[in-house]
A and B are shown apart, each in its own frame.
Chain A
Amino acid sequence: MLLVWLAEAVVFALIVAGILAERPLALAAAGVAIVVAGALLRFVAPLRSALVCAFALHPTAALLGGAALALVLPLALRSSPYWTFVATLALLYVTIGQGLNLQIGTAGVINLAGAAFAGLGGYSVGLLTVGAGWPSWLAVAAAPWVAVAVGALLFVPILKTRGHYLALVTIAFVFIFNILMNNLEFTGGPQGIKNIPTLRLGGYAFTARPTLGVVELPAHANFYYAALATAFLATGILRRLHDSWLGLALNTLRDDEIAARCCGVSIAREKLIAFSIGNFFIGLGGALYAVMVGFVSPPDFDFGYSLIMLSVIIIGGVDSIGGVVLGACLLVPLPERFRFLHEYRLLLYGLVIVVMLLFRPRGLWPAGIRRYR
């Protein structure tokens, strides 16, 4: 158990060092340390098997340790509100990725309209707060349901089309969504919706800088914790659904619809449930994004973002709950760390995905065997 916590602490220290190192020397040191740690893990077999064993034996301890470290991350990133923001973004992508993974990875319902459903969440928050004057928390609670409801427009195509055709339908949906947002008046056209009021709970505004005794946390820390709680919840819910009759039925119909039907599985029912649950979490991610940054506009939710959401799943591992977390936590912060690569960010995304698909199609954290725990 100690080994588990030790390993987690080391990873945490390396990540924080990697993020915060500013001067070239410190950055180089952090980089070397990460490479050395990776190499140790890769090439020293006893160490690796000991770690794997320890994590397998103490899943609860591992989870608690991980949770504790996630809780103190803003403390460690105290000096950098920017990185707290990036960490929050990564957590939102965890929530979105879990929703999308249920659709694409578990059920094989290829949804390339992830950006549109996140946008539905985000725009709903904007319209409900700025337009209708709702309090932000209520708007955030309602927005995912809008994504679910509008998703019902795609119910018929989802049941009637498969594979490439479904991909095309969802792409068309993203395009339509974007054109509408760009040109409708009530969505603010190309400018989008500005001045979305921030989250407030009992008079406490989320933009305030929280203090813990004497320590002051960075500006985005409140959102960080909200996003952390959401990501945690989403991951827990999706893990439980994955390891249940629903996950089993979805995996089966993903691999062979005819076999699933002959086993008594109603394809329509299971697919629509998966699609709707997925849209809920995607919409929730978009809604939180809207209250965090305070505005929404069409380019925040265009087709390119669908692809980024997708790459989270591919990099992590299709149908792998842990993989989504890993994928989001790698894919969102890494390009920010390498600012000088920023221009090449999408190019690198594309290359990485192609290489992954060719050489490691199951992702970095492949889906395991279902054990119904």
Chain B
Amino acid sequence: MSLLEVKGLTVRFGGLVALDGVDVALGEGETLGVIGPNGSGKTTLFNTLTGLYAAAAGEVLFLGQRLSGLETHAIARRGIARTFQSSRLCLELSVFDNILIGMHAHRRTGLLDSLLRRDRLRSEMSQAIERAAHLLSLFNPALPRRGLERVGQLPQIDRRRVEICRALASQPRLVLLDEPSAGMSPEETAQLMKDLQIVREEMPGLSVMVIEHDMFVIEGVSQRVVALSYGRKIAEGSFAAVSARDEVREAYLGGEAARA
């Protein structure tokens, strides 16, 4: 059974059709690349899956259950975590805090415990911090030591890593990565690709959808690719097959030409 099934998903903003009857399916442990020119609806797809945008038509099944109508936080608790195209970390908070918030849904101590049974909270928190440190160390062994610094003091690539750690911290079934290499240098992008492969190896059951413009990253990490253009799915299959399609090349060239 597939973990995620998207059927005929349509999203409109006023007159603009940002997604137009998109079907996508994703199996457990699978990595799906999402490509398409700017404005083709990739981020909109993620935003709709996470409940930030409402769909005009179509449905989303996750673990066989409909997600439509659920609030974003409820969807997150069912096991969909994500990162954002432009970073959404809390720069004033510590690195650990930024990852701990990912574990918020799994907390075991409530308000009264934090007031009256402080030792419970403390032990839960130190376990949580240990896990956060472990996640960080997967990507960069030096990062856990900076766990009590403010995120704003980290370099760009480490911030991206923190954001990915935050998404992983919630023990999701599905992670949505929105252009993880946006704004990175080629070396950093290569680093990031290694990071994504680490995630794949460490968490084999985890499903991943990744939006990327960098075709090397897409080719390196995804088993299957879907291509969007003007809100429509124009191709689906292996990277080699999809990138060879005329429609895809045209969409990209057309997109580039329109932007130039």
Contacts and interface: CB of A to CB of B under 8 A. Distances in A.
Q: Do chains A and B touch in the complex (CB under 8 A)?
A: yes
Interface of A: 237, 240-241, 243-246, 248-249, 251-252, 255-256, 258-267, 273, 369-373
The 6 closest A-B CB pairs, nearest first, are: A264-B105, A244-B114, A264-B76, A255-B90, A372-B125, A261-B72
30 contacts: A237-B115, A240-B115, A241-B115, A243-B114, A244-B111, A245-B109, A248-B104, A252-B93, A252-B98, A255-B90, A255-B92, A258-B72, A258-B88, A259-B89, A260-B101, A261-B71, A261-B72, A261-B73, A263-B76, A263-B81, A263-B105, A264-B73, A264-B76, A264-B104, A264-B105, A266-B71, A267-B73, A370-B93, A370-B94, A373-B122
Given A258-B88, A369-B94, A263 B111 contact: no
Interface in B76-133: 76-77, 81-82, 84, 88-94, 97-98, 100-102, 104-105, 107, 109, 111, 114-115, 118, 121-122, 125-126, 129
B104 A256 contact: no
Contacts, number: 102
Nearest to A242: B114
Interface centre among B71, B72, B89, B102 (most CB of A within 10 A): B72
A265 B101 CA distance: 8
Nearest to A370: B97
Given A263-B166, A264-B77, A265-B73, A249 B114 contact: no
A346 B240 CA distance: 71
Contacts of B109: 244-245
Contacts of A266: 71, 73
B150 interface: yes
Interface residues of B, number: 40
Given A255-B93, A265-B105, 11 more contacts: A241-B111, A246-B111, A248-B93, A248-B97, A248-B100, A251-B90, A251-B97, A255-B90, A258-B72, A260-B101, A261-B72
Contacts of B107: 245
